[in-house]
Amino acid sequence: MIPVTVFAGRKVAVFGLGGSGLVTAEALVAGGAEVFAFDDNPDSVANAAARGVPTADLRALDFSSLAALVLAPGVPLTHPEPHWTAVKAKAAGIEIIGDIELFCRERRAVAPDAPFVAITGTNGKSTTTALIAHLFANAGWDVQLGGNIGTAILSLEPITNKRIYVVECSSFQIDLAPTIDPSVGILLNLTEDHLDRHGSMENYAAIKARLVKGADAAVVGVDDDWSADIASAIEQHGRKVERISVRRPVTDGYYAEGSAIFEAVDANTRQVADLAGIGSLRGTHNAQNAAAAIASARLLGLSDEAIEKGLKSFPGLAHRMEEVAKIGHVLFVNDSKATNADAAEKALSSFEHIYWILGGKPKTGGIDSLEPYFGRIARAYLLGAASDVFAETLDGKVSAVKCGTMDRAVAAAAEDAARDEAQEPVVLLSPACASFDQYRNFEKRGDHFRELVLARAAAGVPSEVR
C-alpha cells in the first residue's frame, strides 16, 4: 500500500467503498488523515468498518470542516447529474479529487523523480499499459502496474525513486485528478465514449487531454482529429510531443508500416522494431499500442535491445486476442473482452479463415458495421440472446449455426476448422456482445472458452475429425 501522508492531520471524506475506494480510505488512514468513509450501499459501509476504516453518514456531516472529498471513479462528478456528495462539497468550497490525484500528490511529496507513465485513450489502454510494464520488468526494473487495468493505484508498493509506476487512467479517474503530472503521458486515440458521464465529446476530449498536457513528455496518437489537435496544442505551449501514427509517416515520432515500427527525427527515419511473428501484437491497433510503448520506453532510457526482447516475449492480455492454444494447425483465440462491434473489428481485421464464435447480450447497432470483414469468416457460431438477430444479419452473407452455449460452439468450430486446409485457420471468440445473458462478466466467458480449449488440447483431440 502507498500511505497517503499529504492529508495527515486533516479531515477527509471518502465516498464509494468498492475496490479502489476502500483502498483509498485505508491509504489515507495509514498516512495519518482523519477519514470519514461512506457509501450508498450499507453493506459496503459495514465491510469498510469491519476492516477498521472509520465510517460516518456523510449526509449529516458538515463539509466545511473537511479538507477534501475523495470520490471513487464510478461516482458521477458532473453528468448525468452530480452525486449528492459532490453537490455538498461544491457548496462548502472544498476540492473533489480521486485516488490518481492522491498518488500524484504523494509522489511529488516523497519521490518526485519516481518514473511515472500514465496511459489513456478510448481504445488500447490496457494492452499498452501491460506492454510498457512488461518491457521494463523484462529489463529488470521494479515495475508497479495499476490503475484502471484492475489494481487500485494506492494498493501498489510505496513510492520510491527506484520504482517505475505504469498506470492506466480512465476518463473518470482523470476527471478527479486536476494536477496529474506523469513523467510520460500517453494518449492513444479518441472516439465517442462515456458521453453520458461527460456531457459532450468536447468535455470528454478535454478531460483526456489533461493527462498529456501535464506530462513532462507526451506521446499522442494522431490518427484522429481530436488527438491530433491536442498534440498540436501541447507543442504550441513548448512541451515535448512524440506523435504516433499507423496511417501515415510522421516527421517526428513513431509510425507503423505493416509490421515494422519506425522512428522519425526531423524527417530522418530508422526502423526500431518489427512485430512480425509476435502473436500477442497482431493487427494495426496493436501496432499503435506497440509504437506508443516503444516511444515511452525510449523516453525513459530503455535500450533498443531491451525493447526488442520485451516485445518478443510479451504474452498479451487475458481475454484480448489471447492465443490460448494451437491444436494441430488450428489456432484458438480468446477475445472475450470484445463486448461490442468496434472491439470485435480489431480481431476480425487481424486474421483470415475465421471460425467466429459470437453472441451474448447484444449492443445497439449489432454487428452491421462488421460486414466488410464477413469475407474472412468461414463460419459463425451463435451464442445466447443475440442468436436470432445475428442470424438475420449474417443470412446470405456468412454460413452460421445457432449453438446456444459455449461448449457446443467450441466443439463445432474446432471440428469445422480442423477440416480447413488453410495454413492457420482460427477459432475466434470475439462476441461483439455483453456477457450478462449467460456469464457474470466477460472474464468468466473468456475463462470458460479457455477451459474448453485447453481440455481439448489436453485430451489430444486430433486436428482432423474422424
Residue with more model confidence, 239 or 271: 271
Grid cell in block for residue 96: 473533489
- Residue 464 — pLDDT band, cuts 50, 70, 90? very low
In this prediction, residues 416-420 reach a mean pLDDT of 96
Dist CA 96 CA 82 (whole Å): 12
Model pLDDT, residue 396: 96
Options 3.40.1190.10, 3.40.50.280, 3.40.50.300, 2.102.10.10; CATH for 108-313 is 3.40.1190.10
**Kind and range of the H or E element at 186?**
strand 184-187
Asked whether residue 465 carries a pLDDT value surpassing 70, the answer given is no
Rg of the chain on CA atoms, in Å = 24
Asked whether residue 178 carries a pLDDT value surpassing 80, the answer given is yes
| Catalytically annotated residues | 125, 148, 194
pLDDT digits (tens, 9 = 90+) for 338-397: 998 988 999 999 999 999 999 999 988 899 999 999 999 999 999 999 999 999 999 999
In this prediction, residues 73-93 reach a mean pLDDT of 93
pLDDT digits (tens, 9 = 90+) for 229-254: 999 999 998 888 999 999 999 999 99
CATH of domain 11-97: 3.40.50.720
Residues 6+ apart with CB under 8 A from 372: none
- Residue 91 — pLDDT band, cuts 50, 70, 90? very high
As a whole number, the mean pLDDT across the chain is: 94
Q: Which residue in this structure is represented by grid cell 523523480? A: 113
* Percentage of the chain exceeding pLDDT 90: 87
Grid cell in block for residue 377: 469468416
In this prediction, residues 166-179 reach a mean pLDDT of 96
Domain with CATH 3.40.50.720 in the chain: 11-97
Dist CA 185 CA 166 (whole Å): 10
Torsion angles phi and psi, residue 209, rounded to 5: -65, -30
pLDDT digits (tens, 9 = 90+) for 131-157: 999 999 999 999 999 999 989 999 999
Dist CA 325 CA 323 (whole Å): 6
In this prediction, residues 221-227 reach a mean pLDDT of 96
β-pairing, 354-359 vs 426-429, is parallel
- Residue 463 — pLDDT band, cuts 50, 70, 90? very low
One-letter-per-residue 3-state SS of 119-158 = EECCCCHHHHHHHHHHHHHHCCCEEEEEECCCCCHHHCCC
pTM of the model: 0.87
CATH of domain 322-458: 3.90.190.20
Dist CA 258 CA 276 (whole Å): 9
With beta carbons less than 8 A apart as the criterion, state whether 382 and 359 touch: yes
Model pLDDT, residue 74: 86
Give the C-alpha distances (Å, rounded to integers) separating 44 from 48, 74, 171: 6, 14, 24
Model pLDDT, residue 152: 96
Give the C-alpha distances (Å, rounded to integers) separating 386 from 51, 367, 372, 379, 389: 42, 10, 20, 16, 6
Domain with CATH 3.40.1190.10 in the chain: 108-313
Q: Which of 136, 204, 213 is nearest to 167 (CA)?
A: 136
